A and B are shown apart, each in its own frame.
Chain A
Amino acid sequence: MVAFTKNSKMAEVILRDYQLLPIISRFGIKLGFGNKSIEEICTDRNVDLPFFLEILNSYHSIDYFPENHLCDFKADVMVSYLTNTHSYYLNSKVPHIELFIDRMDQTAQFENSRNVALLKQFFNEYKIDIEHHFSEEEKNVFPYVLALEKALKSNNCSPQLIEKIKREPIEIYERNHESLEVKLADMKNLIIRFLPPLHCEDDCEHLLTELFQLECDIEDHTRMEEKVLIPKVKMLERKVLEYYGV
């Protein structure tokens, strides 16, 4: 598949793959592109072009592998994007899903209200899981990434950082990076296969659609952490060690 370039028209990108819509809005890019290219839009909105391209392409195509472009963008842009994405899930997606579950809860009768309560509890646990996962990344991984970049730029690297690269490189995070989608898939299955029919088909349909979308989105997010963030950090780790001759 041909990757998008800075000269691709923004409108054509979205027409080709509407799933990229939530991505561009995370960058604060609004519709009404006219005939502007990606580059022009980025300049207008003050968005980091190389990074934006990486994100568009890795979300658009599963096989996209950005090896050659890892040096093109700064780590802090990526960290702020990932943090934004986390809050998008927690503040926009999760409440949406909760809303539909609540509505189902209100219309469910007798026996089924117990089942909906179980689903509600299940999703609550899931919410706690992802909150924990995200806050771990924001507390431990992202500051480390920023420190690496700073060490290269400022000619000043603390012995603790060197020690961390050796003892606790990003590879450890990579190995323990757990999947956040499995529980969502279970939730879908429970609803589709085992929840006795409810009298609020619309809400149920919306809930499922939200679950499918969130699952896809989180899958892409994970892929992006694994294909863009981790390789970038590995490169920074290597550079820091080389630079300081360790």
Chain B
Amino acid sequence: MEFEDKKIQTVIASDQYLVRLGVKTLLNVIGIESDLYEADSFVELERLVNDVPDLNYLILSEDLLPKQKQDCLKGIKGSCSFCKAIIIGQQKIPNCVFEHFILHSYNRKQVVEKLQLFFQESDSTFGNHDSGTLSDREIDVLKAVALGYSNKEIADQLFISINTVITHRKNITQKLGIKTISGLTVYALMNHIIKAEEVR
């Protein structure tokens, strides 16, 4: 598969240095080869989530999150739809957008198992992302791009932020392997996503 030989990208986010160091050591122990990025504040985390292209994994300590935990997590989920996250915390967050947790009460064995499971499980789901099927939202964005709208116009039309538009575009390009607007237009026409008469 196309992205198989690409290195995976992992963000480790915690405001405590020792936690980040501990996570790094454990990743080493279970043999995860990944580019690592560290965030020691929520702002930094948001920046990384938006800036690191093709981010795969996020290991996030709860202590980093501002008060509205659920909303922050949703925001993060929104900015990196490809990314799998595992939360380190006191207890599981109910109805959380992410399903993986490492609890403070876990012993070494449990933590290692959780991490292994987390990375393995995600490996198998990557197949789906690479299959090239666009999500409904991505098709909406593709349609607008192919019709020649700017990021700002698309954001307004679909009621999303410019950043989200950019993320969608990045994902579309990654899934289709097509970078230019005219290339995307041809794809959209071929697949009847837009009609020739609509192109401006």
Contacts and interface: CB of A to CB of B under 8 A. Distances in A.
B112 interface: no
Interface of A is mostly: helix
Contacts of A189: 176-178, 183
Given A118-B186, A119-B186, A186 B180 contact: yes
Interface in B145-178: 176-178
A190 interface: yes
B190 A182 contact: no
A2 to B, nearest CB: 29
A193 B186 contact: no
A183 B183 contact: yes
Contact of B180 (A119, A183, A194): A183
A191 to B, nearest CB: 10
Interface in A117-149: 118-119, 121-122, 125
Interface string A150-193: 00000000000000000000000000000000110111011001
A193 B183 contact: no
A193 to B, nearest CB: 7
Interface residues of A, number: 16
A122 B177 contact: no
Interface in B175-195: 176-180, 182-183, 186-187, 189-191
Nearest to A126: B182
B102 to A, nearest CB: 39
Contacts of A115: 190
Interface string B102-133: 00000000000000000000000000000010
Contacts of A195: 190
Chain B CB within 10 Å, residue with most, of A125, A182, A186, A195? A186
Contacts of A194: 176, 187, 190-191
Contacts of B190: 115, 118, 190, 194-195
Contacts of B177: 185-186, 189, 193
Contacts of B191: 194
A190 B180 CA distance: 12
A125 B177 CA distance: 19
A183 B177 CA distance: 11
A115 B191 CA distance: 9
Contacts of B183: 122, 183, 186-187, 189-190
Given A115-B190, A118-B186, A194-B191, A186 B132 contact: no
B138 to A, nearest CB: 15
B166 to A, nearest CB: 18
A182 B189 contact: no
A214 to B, nearest CB: 16
| 6 closest cross-chain pairs (CB), A and B | A186-B183, A189-B177, A186-B178, A118-B186, A122-B186, A182-B179
8 contacts: A118-B189, A118-B190, A122-B182, A122-B183, A182-B180, A183-B180, A183-B182, A186-B180
Given A118-B186, A183-B183, A186-B186, 6 more contacts: A119-B186, A125-B182, A185-B177, A185-B179, A186-B179, A189-B178
